[in-house]
């Protein structure tokens, strides 16, 4: 077995979910090789945990969604919630040969599926130790404009990063955000203002997602004013988007344009909360520099931020509820046009580089030193 699989499996079971003897862990594998599932099963058992496995295939999932009726959604919720309630931990690996596999599923079907599984996801997030990661595939290599072999090397380098190096800098950024009232973000096409007062900030260093490298909070729901121009392409609900631009008034998205403005607004009209923001985060993974239209990677890009329409996290609650959670990314390094982030009028990051001394530990040159 590939030694990289074993190293990743130990990271997922030991560091990310910290499995203990007797704990039940669900390994949810979608479109991934059997060998990595076997490696995680063995690593979980080595820690005394009890592994359960759910194998899924993207094409089969598409067929289920295309013809789904309300009865199927109700049954899926009952079955999945029963199983999830038996788990103390959850590890998901998600791969796909075709990233657009779900592009022809009607939007109402996707919304119905997401709504039906909402209780399952809520239980998983609130009641289990969980970690989610993508799996490298030729389609992901194409997105990254890399050869398959080079992308696999990149993937394992990113995913098995020594995340402990991020801890001091993340603690400093958490403290800075929690002392802040007003945030301002400027850059090409962007002048955004909002408050984060009273909302907790949360470091993410390899425990919930792999790869990782962000600290997130949320804006006070009605405080967002201004405009943001995202410069990272994105795929959401099977549709590709570029040049997404959002205009806010009293927290609400009042104007939204993109290469596919009609579909963008369909998503934002999914429910009331989809036009409000549930997350603001700063990304700083030193290995991830370019967008590849995979959000678990792109939201961690060094020198980026994401500003997320939709559902907030319980750890950073701002009262926004939605079936949507869409991490739209803007990169502020010089080659992407630069930009500034201010906390209460103090410039804390310029062109993707943190300036205050405690936060410099999150800059790329420090994390790679």
Domain boundaries in the chain? 3-159, 163-367
Residue 84 in this model has a pLDDT that exceeds 90 = yes
The pLDDT value recorded for residue 255 is 98
Q: How far apart are CA 218 and CA 300, in angstroms?
A: 16
What is the DSSP pairing of strand 89-94 with strand 129-134? parallel
- Whether omega before 211 lies within 30 degrees of 0, making that bond cis, reads yes
Using alpha carbons, select from 76, 137, 184, 109 the residue that is nearest to residue 297: 137
The pLDDT value recorded for residue 362 is 97
SS3 3: helix
Residues 6+ apart with CB under 8 A from 167: 203, 205
Q: How far apart are CA 276 and CA 265, in angstroms?
A: 13
Average pLDDT over residues 134-140: 86
- CA of residue 259 relative to chain centroid, distance: 22
The pLDDT value recorded for residue 167 is 92
Domain at 3-159: CATH architecture = 3-Layer(aba) Sandwich (3.40)
Question: Please, what's the largest Cα pairwise distance for the chain?
Answer: 57
Q: What does pTM read for this prediction?
A: 0.78
Q: pLDDT digits over 253-297, tens only?
A: 999 999 999 999 999 999 999 999 999 999 999 999 999 888 889
Q: pLDDT digits over 175-233, tens only?
A: 999 999 999 999 999 999 999 999 999 999 877 788 889 999 999 999 999 999 999 99
């Amino acid at each position: 077995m590939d030694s990289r699989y074993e190293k990743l499996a130990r990271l997922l079971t030991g560091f990310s979910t910290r499995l203990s003897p007797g704990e039940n862990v669900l390994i949810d594998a979608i479109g991934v090789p059997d060998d990595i599932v076997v490696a995680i099963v063995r690593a979980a058992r080595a820690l005394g945990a009890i592994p359960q496995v759910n194998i899924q295939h993207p094409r089969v999932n598409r067929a289920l969604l295309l013809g789904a009726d309300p009865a199927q959604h109700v049954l899926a919720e009952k079955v999945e919630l029963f199983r999830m309630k038996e788990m103390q931990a959850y590890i998901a690996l998600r791969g796909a040969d075709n990233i657009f596999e779900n592009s022809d599923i009607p939007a109402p079907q996707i919304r119905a599926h997401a709504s039906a599984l909402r209780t399952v996801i809520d239980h998983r997030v609130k009641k289990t130790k969980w970690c989610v990661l993508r799996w490298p595939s030729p389609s992901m290599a194409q997105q990254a404009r890399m050869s398959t072999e080079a992308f696999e090397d990149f993937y394992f380098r990113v995913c098995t990063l020594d995340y402990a190096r991020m801890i001091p800098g993340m603690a400093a950024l958490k403290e800075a955000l929690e002392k802040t009232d007003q945030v301002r973000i400027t850059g090409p096409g962007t002048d955004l203002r909002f408050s984060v007062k009273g909302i907790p900030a949360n470091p993410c260093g390899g425990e919930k997602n792999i790869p990782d490298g962000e600290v997130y909070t949320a804006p006070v729901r009605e405080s967002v004013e201004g405009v943001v121009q995202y410069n990272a392409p994105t795929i959401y609900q099977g549709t590709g988007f570029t040049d997404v631009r959002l205009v806010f008034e009293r927290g609400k998205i009042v104007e939204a344009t993109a290469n596919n403005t009609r579909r963008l607004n369909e998503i934002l009209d999914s429910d009331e909360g989809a036009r409000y923001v549930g997350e603001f985060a700063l990304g700083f993974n030193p290995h991830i520099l370019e967008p590849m239209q995979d959000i678990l990677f792109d939201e961690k890009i060094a020198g980026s931020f994401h500003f997320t329409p939709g559902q907030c996290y319980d750890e950073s609650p701002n009262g926004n509820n939605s079936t949507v959670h869409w991490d739209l990314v803007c990169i502020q390094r010089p080659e992407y046009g630069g930009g500034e982030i201010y906390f209460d009028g103090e410039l804390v990051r310029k062109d993707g580089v943190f300036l205050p001394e405690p936060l410099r530990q999150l800059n790329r040159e420090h994390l790679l030193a």
